[in-house]
Amino acid sequence: MTASTATVTAAPVVRRRILDLTLEEHTLTVPLVWSDPTDTRTIDVFASVASREGGEDLPYLVFLQGGPGSEAPRSMHGPTSPSWLDQALAHHRVVMIDQRGTGRSTPVSDRILSRGTEAVAEYLTHLRADAIVRDCEAMREHLGAAQWNLLGQSFGGFTSLAYLSTDAASLDQVYITGGLSTVTRTPDDVYALCYDKMRTASERYYRRFPEHRERMRRLVDLAAAGDIVLPGGEVVSPSRLRSAGSALGTNDGWQTLWTLLEHDPSSNAFRYDLAAAMPFGGRNPLYFVFHESSYSNGHVTDWSAERTEPQDFRDDVTLFTGEHIRRDWTETVPAFQPWRDVTLALAEHAWPTIYDPAAIAASGAQGAAAVYVNDVYVPLEFSLETAELLPDVRLWITSEHEHNGLRAGVVLERLVDLAHDRRIR
């Protein structure tokens, strides 16, 4: 079932003016299960379209957020506004779409758990990248665009690859940042290589701050004794503590880690900063509950990150981890405890394929992609494999930025210049 043949209804458009921006808010009611016309369940999909005066007729650029499980940015001005937005608005109307299950697109929250484990697990299987593509197509048709441009950050880049697998004709220019995921390998391959990346990042950090290695060792001992308790009541396990190393995958994350390890572990500052530094939390439950599915293209994940942990990570507790989720967190993290049975069920689910390497190679996609040399989440090696399928998507391979480089404000401009053969300044 395509967006054009499914039953899609639109709510009245809401228009707002915020300083120099015009925002049009669009809400569509679409099928929960695009592939089954007999399934009558529906969800809402929300998008805010931003433009500047004089830009009302510019081409559309749809932004696909990282995650999975994160909504599109809300703030259009001020310090929390996306740093790339001004550059994008100079040439586009920007479509901020909340991916299904997030933001104002029928968000998934703890309240859904009242439906029961089996029903919730089944529901969540319909929130993956392939369904997000169908939602995007419905929104594109609703906006009356024959084609639009695409900016995919991280998981949004994964979704872009799913888009190229099925609906490449709908895309003009494709820009991907830190999101050229593998389309042929297994989740085990990905997480094993990500451990290698985190080993390198850990050793790089300790070369700069060797005194912190022993501090980290003492903190792990405290966690093992149950002596690190967060303000929200979580008794931090050693594996959760080590996941604070995920910050090393961002441009300034080493400063976050340095500040944390400089604190007295008995202080409020340490407890609050640790809570903020660890990845995965209760705000967006999808990020934890089916995170590993984002790397599955026809696989059962079965706690891949846990199973592929190398021996040296088991022996050396000072090595940091990244987006390596653990089964024990369903027991120790208060926000995840209600989701335990659902998370366990999804780990056993046989996820269908969402990428078609042959279709991607035949897509004729044009654009540009930023590939980060030191990316600890989306490994360089697998990004280069995928890039071979996209010869007209030009690569910017850089060690200047980490995985969140888009937030630096210059990455999108660099990619647009690269895609359009403009001289790189």
| Confidence (pLDDT) at 90 | 92
**H helix intervals, 336-420:** 340-347, 357-361, 380-387, 411-419
Look over the chain and give the mean of its residue pLDDT values, rounded to a whole number.
95
Q: How confident is the model at residue 290 (pLDDT cuts 50, 70, 90)?
A: very high
In this predicted structure, what is the pLDDT of residue 4?
Answer: 62
DSSP of 254-278, one letter per residue?
A: HHHHHHHHHS-TTSHHHHHHHHHHS
Reading phi first (left if > 0) and then psi (alpha if -120 to 50, else beta), residue 88 is in alpha
Q: Where are the domains of the chain?
A: 9-184+355-419, 187-347
Q: Is the dihedral of CA 270, 273, 277, 282 positive or negative?
A: positive
Find the mean pLDDT for residues 111-137: 98
CA separation for the pair 98, 243 (Å, rounded): 27
Comparing 83 with 383, the larger pLDDT belongs to 383
pLDDT at 2: 59
How many angstroms from the chain centroid is the CA of residue 370? 15
pLDDT attached to residue 1: 53
328: pLDDT strictly greater than 70: yes
CA distance 331 to 370: 38
Q: Are 29 and 8 in contact (CB under 8 A)?
A: yes
- Identify the pLDDT of residue 19: 87
Domain at 9-184+355-419, CATH class: alpha beta
pLDDT in tens, 1-33: 556 667 999 999 999 998 889 999 999 999 999
CB 401, CB 377: distance < 8 Å: no
pLDDT (average), residues 142-167: 98
Confidence (pTM): 0.95
> What's residue 425's pLDDT?
46
Pairing of strands 93-97, 42-52: antiparallel
Q: Percent of the chain at pLDDT above 90?
A: 93
pLDDT digits (tens, 9 = 90+) for 378-413: 999 999 999 999 999 999 999 999 999 998 888 999
Compute the average pLDDT of residues 238-260. Answer: 96
